[in-house]
Amino acid sequence: MVSESTPSQPVALPRHVDVLIVGAGLSGIGAACHLRRHCPERTFAIVESRGAIGGTWDLFRYPGVRSDSDMFTLGYSFKPWREAQAIADGGAIRSYIREAAQEHGVGERIRFHSRVRAAEWSSEPARWTVEIEHTDSGERSTMTCNFLFGCTGYYRYEQGYTPRFEGVERFGGEIVHPQHWPEDLDYSGKRVVVIGSGATAVTLVPAMAPQAAHVTMLQRSPSYVLAVPNRDPVAVLARRVLPERIAYSLVRWKNVMLAMGLFKLSRRAPDLMKRLLRRSAERRLPAGYDLDTHFKPRYSPWDQRMCFVPDGDMFEAISEGSASVVTGEIDTFTETGLRLSDGNELTADVIVTATGLNLMALGDIDVTVDGRPVDLAETVGYKGMMLSGVPNMALTLGYTNASWTLKADLVSEYVCRLLTHMAERGYERCMPLAPDPSLPTEPFLDLKSGYVQRSLHLLPRQGAIAPWRLNQNYPLDVRLLRRGALEDAGIEFSSRATAAPPSSEPALAA
């Protein structure tokens, strides 16, 4: 059993560590476990702005909160997922992350309530000085490290995204954002409207439907929604006949290949995929249901993240009549609910704005390299995990078309290899270089989802060729990050004696 509470006394961290991990979410805890396993001689610490482990899986507490990826791929490579359910609820994922931390003795290295505000690299003496704000006391302190590992997730915790709605102040009921769910919200017997059509909305609707008087999902335009099995029969069988680790690895790869197949088919044969998705929804909805209005998106499958519903629970709630979907534009909030631009009114006691996240890059940390402020938007990603012109730093950004942890594990493994390589060769600094300026660069993410498009200008760019290309492809990344060469034309290594301050010279085109 893993304790839910955080230490009452703040952990005293050393003033200097080899590796400083920022963030104690799924990625940060995973990174620390990898360091323990592969670089036991390295000192490290984790600084976390909140008071608990788990990041996303501790923050979000709305009814039904769960993964939509299967846990065989959202789980760590080194820690088999043992539950029967492939899709796990938030609490189970939180416990799993805490258990990993406990098993690897990571807990005592975490300083909670500590937000990294700034990180300044000095080529002499080849280290980072990190400014930390202690959110419990308001005090500030600094730490130094040789390598900075950003595991800060991808969105702003303080505030979810809510577009401006007319007349919000007039509404007499309760308005709730899923990112800040009130613990005591009682919606039993009430009429609920969930605004949104993404993963959160399709989770909330079936979860609230049994208690609410009725739940309406109000969407401006439809998303692709696919029913997936909650229990994985292959996993059940594999665990029965194979050793645990082999069974886990087998099911993990099976699910990687299935997800990739679905993604590739969507990109290569969108019309076929549209027909398959439609047929799947049609089979689960009542005869004559208006699929064209509510489940026929204007975009092609996987132009935006697909919504997965375990065992089709969302379709079931619609079929039972406890939930329904309305597609239309909001004209204004009223005293009693919402008026749509077609004149229809929706009455509500509770309105949930499942309208998304605000993206944030690298935990809003002000990064400086030898006195020069770094604008992340002017950097180019190197192997999807380091930034051009920024020495001794990696960041974890998971896949958008597959489970986050698949990439997070590979980034941590790569960092461990990199640290060992540098120690063996006597290098103190590694710095990715920008690609040749004559080569085109592209936005970091190629999803058309609103939350991505709103924030692309804040993110690094990516190159058209390796090693500056961001692969949304696990097998390719296994080759690149787990097995690929550490030294190539895109990165410069130096020992302190030879380390010149970073130049802005681009690399030769590879």
Ligand X SMILES: Cc1cc2nc3c(=O)[nH]c(=O)nc-3n(C[C@H](O)[C@H](O)[C@H](O)COP(=O)(O)OP(=O)(O)OC[C@H]3O[C@@H](n4cnc5c(N)ncnc54)[C@H](O)[C@@H]3O)c2cc1C
In the complex, the residues that contact ligand X under the rule CB under 6 A are: 22-28, 47-50, 55-57, 60, 67-69, 74, 115-116, 151-153, 157, 200, 363-365, 396, 398, 403-404
Q: How far apart are CA 160 and CA 329, in angstroms?
A: 20
Taking the complex as a whole, the smallest distance from the CB of residue 194 to ligand X amounts, in Å, to 14
What is the residue-wise DSSP string for 245-263? HHHHHHHHHHHHHHHHHHH
Nearer Cβ to ligand X (20/212): 20
Q: How far apart are CA 406 and CA 74, in angstroms?
A: 7
Nearer Cβ to ligand X (200/304): 200
Q: How many Å is the maximal CA-CA distance in the chain?
A: 75
Strand partners, 155: 359
Nearer Cβ to ligand X (116/325): 116
Alpha helix ranges (H) inside 211-347:
233-241, 244-268, 270-284, 291-294, 313-320
Residue at token pair 């846990």: 71
* DSSP code of residue 66: B
Nearer Cβ to ligand X (28/467): 28
Taking the complex as a whole, the smallest distance from the CB of residue 111 to ligand X amounts, in Å, to 9
* Structural contact between residues 381 and 491, judged by C-beta atoms closer than 8 angstroms: no
Q: Which of helix, strand or coil describes residue 325?
A: strand
Q: How far apart are CA 309 and CA 325, in angstroms?
A: 15
From the DSSP assignment, how many helices (H) and strands (E) are in the chain?
A: 13, 25
Taking the complex as a whole, the smallest distance from the CB of residue 1 to ligand X amounts, in Å, to 22
Taking the complex as a whole, the smallest distance from the CB of residue 141 to ligand X amounts, in Å, to 13
Taking the complex as a whole, the smallest distance from the CB of residue 164 to ligand X amounts, in Å, to 22
Taking the complex as a whole, the smallest distance from the CB of residue 88 to ligand X amounts, in Å, to 9
Nearer Cβ to ligand X (58/492): 58
Taking the complex as a whole, the smallest distance from the CB of residue 163 to ligand X amounts, in Å, to 18
Query: At 457, which amino acid appears?
Result: H
Alpha helix ranges (H) inside 285-340:
291-294, 313-320
The secondary structure element, H or E, covering residue 32 is helix 26-38
Nearer Cβ to ligand X (47/419): 47
Nearer Cβ to ligand X (90/467): 90
Taking the complex as a whole, the smallest distance from the CB of residue 222 to ligand X amounts, in Å, to 20
Taking the complex as a whole, the smallest distance from the CB of residue 301 to ligand X amounts, in Å, to 18
Residue 486 in tokens: 């550490």
* Structural contact between residues 121 and 391, judged by C-beta atoms closer than 8 angstroms: yes
Nearer Cβ to ligand X (308/427): 308
Nearer Cβ to ligand X (130/480): 130
Q: How far apart are CA 433 and CA 183, in angstroms?
A: 48
What are phi and psi for residue 16, nearest 5 degrees? -135, 135
